[in-house]
Amino acid sequence: GRKFRPEGTTITFPNGVVVGGKEVTIMAGPCSVESREQILLSAQQVKAAGAQFLRGGAYKPRSSPYSFQGMGVEGLKLLREVADMTGLLVITEVMEISQIEVMLPYIDCFQVGARNMQNFNLLRELGHVRKPVLMKRGIAATIEEVLLSAEYILSGGNYDLMLCERGIRTYETYTRNTMDISAIPVLKKLTHLPVFGDPSHGVGIRDFVPPMALASVAAGADGLLMEMHPNPDKAMSDGAQSLFPEQLEKLVAQLRALAPVV
Ligand code: PEP
Ligand code: MN
């Protein structure tokens, strides 16, 4: 609860980047790592836009088993290589317990995806690692359920936890999900944890990502997780919601007018 740490939790990463402080943290990159060329170009563009973290899935939770499932450990190695070349931190999704050990040498932050927010065995294991975790809200999870899932990680002794609103399933089908901006101030009130917004999965349509990113920060978000692809039309996953590099750059400049960005 917020009363435990009224000033809020801050997480300091190896290169000195602080999440949960006065500045807004930007995590950006493609939905999936697709090739060395694609992820290197992404890292350069994300860095140029002013982000601190490179995102990109190596293990992908796809709705269809016939869709691209990610590059696995090769993807992790590429993320580490290009992040080190450009001075970025790496956040990427963990889908199961056996991947934790494999991922540890290559990453700076574990991402728990919406589909795994109630994978309680995975959460329990992540409570025992000494590496930060960003946990997304489940596709149809209540705030209470988000908080209880967070407890699985915190109660294991890992306090370096961030929460992330990424849209929930409602009756509305125009947007991919319904971005629940109200979850951001509510989570900020109820917890001491840094809260992120993921407007990419929240709306699923590229041109609505910037306004929802700005809304998230106006609502108090400590950071944003967003998809950007060097060539979104050729993306192997989530191209329609991936920003063009110049859109990300323009958005970060607009965010700076609202709040300090790292
Ligand atoms: C992702 O970040 O690419 C992803 C799969 O997100 P979510 O778990 O929110 O669907
Ligand atoms: Mn995605």
Three-state SS sequence of the chain: CHHHCCCCCCEECCCCCEECCCCEEEEEECCECCCHHHHHHHHHHHHHHCCCEEECECCCCCCCCCCCCCCCHHHHHHHHHHHHHHCCEEEEECCCHHHHHHHCCCCCEEEECHHHCCCHHHHHHHCCCCCCEEEECCCCCCHHHHHHHHHHHHCCCCCCEEEEECCECCCCCCCCCECCCCHHHHHHHHCCCCEEECHHHHHCCHHHHHHHHHHHHHCCCCEEEEEECCCHHHCCCCHHHCECHHHHHHHHHHHHHHCCEC
User: Side chain identity at 249, as an amino acid letter?
Assistant: E
114 lies in some domain: yes
User: How much distance in Å is there from the Cα of 3 to the middle of ligand 1?
Assistant: 30
User: How much distance in Å is there from the Cα of 147 to the middle of ligand 2?
Assistant: 23
Q: How confident is the model at residue 101 (pLDDT cuts 50, 70, 90)?
A: very high
For the CA of 135, the nearest ligand: 1
The minimum-distance atom of ligand 1 relative to the CA of 57 is: 3
The structural domain count of the chain equals: 1
User: How much distance in Å is there from the Cα of 60 to the middle of ligand 1?
Assistant: 8
User: How much distance in Å is there from the Cα of 184 to the middle of ligand 2?
Assistant: 20
262 lies in some domain: no
Mean confidence (pLDDT) of the chain: 97
Look up the pTM and report it: 0.98
Which residues does ligand 1 sit against, CB inside 6 Å? 31, 57, 61, 113-115, 136, 166, 198, 201
261 lies in some domain: no
> Which tens digits make up the pLDDT trace of 204-259?
999 999 999 999 999 999 999 999 999 999 999 999 999 999 999 999 999 999 98
Instruction: Say if residue 154's pLDDT is above 80.
Output: yes
User: How much distance in Å is there from the Cα of 54 to the middle of ligand 2?
Assistant: 13
pLDDT at position 253: 96
Query: What residue's CA is closest to ligand 1, atom 4?
Result: 113
- Look up the CATH number of the domain holding residue 82: 3.20.20.70
Whether the predicted interface score ipTM is above 0.85: yes
> Which tens digits make up the pLDDT trace of 14-69?
999 999 999 999 999 999 999 999 999 999 999 999 999 999 999 999 999 999 99
> Which tens digits make up the pLDDT trace of 163-175?
999 999 999 999 9
173 lies in some domain: yes
Segment 109-116 mean pLDDT: 98
Instruction: Say if residue 1's pLDDT is above 90.
Output: no
Instruction: Say if residue 76's pLDDT is above 80.
Output: yes
Instruction: Say if residue 127's pLDDT is above 90.
Output: yes
pLDDT at position 100: 98
Assess contact for 112 and 93: CB atoms under 8 A: yes
In a 10 Å sphere around its CB, with 0-12 CB exposed, 13-18 middle and 19+ buried, how is residue 223 labelled?
Answer: buried
The minimum-distance atom of ligand 1 relative to the CA of 198 is: 9
25 lies in some domain: yes
pLDDT at position 2: 82
For residue 147, the tally of other CB atoms under 10 A from its CB is 17
260 lies in some domain: no
Instruction: Say if residue 262's pLDDT is above 80.
Output: no
Segment 108-123 mean pLDDT: 98
pLDDT at position 3: 83
The set of residues, in sequence order, having a beta carbon less than 8 Å from that of 80 and lying 6+ positions away, is: 90, 105, 106, 107
Residue whose structure tokens are 């920060």: 217
State the residue range of the domain holding 203: 2-255
95 lies in some domain: yes
pLDDT at position 187: 98
Query: What is the spatial distance between Cα 222 and Cα 30, in angstroms, rounded to a whole number?
Result: 21
- Mutate-to-test residue for ligand 1 from 201, 212, 236, highest number of ligand atoms within 8 A of CB: 201
For the CA of 113, the nearest ligand: 1
Instruction: Say if residue 70's pLDDT is above 80.
Output: yes
Assess contact for 226 and 28: CB atoms under 8 A: yes
Query: What is the spatial distance between Cα 229 and Cα 206, in angstroms, rounded to a whole number?
Result: 11
pLDDT at position 5: 87
Assess contact for 224 and 216: CB atoms under 8 A: yes
Instruction: Say if residue 188's pLDDT is above 90.
Output: yes
226 lies in some domain: yes
Quote the percentage of the chain above a pLDDT of 70.
100
